[in-house]
Amino acid sequence: MIHITVTPNSIEAIGHADYDAHGKDIICSAISILMYTLSIRGHMDKEESGHAIVVSEDKQALELIVEGLKLIERNYPQYVEVIEC
């Protein structure tokens, strides 16, 4: 499962969805592209396999990415958990 923690200026994603094999997992891919997209409006604070942190002061971009992450969570609740702090 991917655990996503949202704070007022960052998103942290830890884990793997294990929906499919590494490199073929559509859930991991979707979350990764959202995290990379947010990094355009901020910076990737940490990036390694199964762990990413993106920091951004752009509240509008952050909210949009969080909505995308929640959409994935609603469709695949057994693979993704989004916690807002």
pLDDT one-digit tens code per residue, 43-81: 999 988 899 999 999 999 999 999 999 999 999 999 999
pLDDT value, residue 30: 98
- The CA-atom distances, in angstroms, between 20 and each of 17, 30, 61 are 8, 13, 29
In the chain, the amino acid numbered 20 is D
Q: DSSP 3-state helix, strand, coil percentages of the chain (rounded to 5)?
A: 35, 35, 30
Parallel, antiparallel, or unpaired for β 10-15 and 2-7? Answer: antiparallel
| pLDDT higher than 90, residue 22 | no
Q: What is the mean pLDDT of residues 26-45?
A: 97
Q: Exposed (0-12), middle (13-18) or buried (19+): which is 27, by Cβ within 10 Å?
A: buried
> Considering the entire predicted model, what is its pTM?
0.94
Q: Could you state, in order of their start, the residue ranges of all structural domains in the chain? A: 2-84
**Spelled out in words, what is the top-level CATH class assigned to the domain 2-84?**
alpha beta
